[in-house]
C-alpha cells in the first residue's frame, strides 16, 4: 500500500469499527477489513491518493488498485510465472526478469505530442494501470488475459487470477 485514506472515519463507521481498536488500524489494515467485508465494492469506497496490491487467498487472485484521480501510479510486469507490482516504474525495472527494452511505438507517440495509449510506458515489459478502470486479469492456459470496467468512484484496479 502506498498512499493515504481520506475517508477513514466514514469507512470505520460503515464497518462498525468506530472504536479504539478500529481507530488504531493503519490505512493498509483498514483496506483489508473493507475488502473482507465488501470485496471489490470495498475498493470503490476508498477515497484519497493510493496504490495497492493484495492477495485474496480464498479466491486465489491478486487485486491491484489505484485512486481514480491518478495521484498514485501503479506499474506492473506480468508474465505466465511472475507478477511484479509497484507504485514506481523503477522498482519494477529493478527485477532481473524485467527487460529495459524500449517500447519504440510509445516513444514515437510521445515525441509526436500525441496522447499515449492507456497502460503504455517507455519500457515494453512495464505496463501502467490505466485511469479510472477496474481491470481483471486471469490466467487461461497459463497466459494472462485482461478485461476492464469502470468502478463507481473512478478507482483503478486490476485483478489477476
> For residue 59, what pLDDT is reported?
80
Q: How would residue 137 be classed by pLDDT, with cut points 50, 70 and 90?
A: low
> For residue 18, what pLDDT is reported?
79
CA nearest 146: which of 107, 119, 124? 119
What pLDDT digit, counting tens, does each position of 102-117 carry? 999 888 888 887 766 6
How far is the C-alpha of 75 from the C-alpha of 120, rounded, in Å?
10
What pLDDT digit, counting tens, does each position of 20-76 carry? 888 899 999 999 999 999 988 998 899 999 988 888 888 878 888 888 787 888 898
Amino acid at each position: 500500500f502506498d498512499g493515504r485514506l481520506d475517508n477513514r472515519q466514514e469507512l470505520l463507521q460503515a464497518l462498525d469499527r468506530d472504536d479504539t481498536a478500529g481507530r488504531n488500524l493503519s490505512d493498509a489494515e483498514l483496506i483489508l477489513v473493507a475488502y473482507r467485508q465488501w470485496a471489490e465494492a470495498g475498493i470503490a469506497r476508498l477515497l484519497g491518493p493510493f496504490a495497492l496490491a493484495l492477495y485474496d487467498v480464498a479466491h486465489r487472485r491478486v487485486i491491484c488498485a489505484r485512486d481514480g484521480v491518478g495521484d498514485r501510479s501503479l506499474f506492473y510486469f506480468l508474465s505466465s510465472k511472475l507478477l511484479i507490482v509497484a507504485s514506481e516504474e523503477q522498482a519494477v525495472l529493478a527485477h532481473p526478469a524485467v527487460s529495459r527494452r524500449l517500447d519504440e511505438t510509445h516513444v514515437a507517440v510521445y515525441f509526436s505530442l500525441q496522447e499515449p495509449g492507456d497502460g503504455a510506458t517507455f519500457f515494453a515489459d512495464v505496463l501502467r494501470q490505466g485511469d479510472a478502470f477496474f481491470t481483471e486479469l486471469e490466467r487461461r492456459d497459463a497466459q494472462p488475459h485482461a478485461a476492464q470496467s469502470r468502478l463507481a468512484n473512478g478507482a483503478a484496479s486490476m485483478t489477476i487470477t
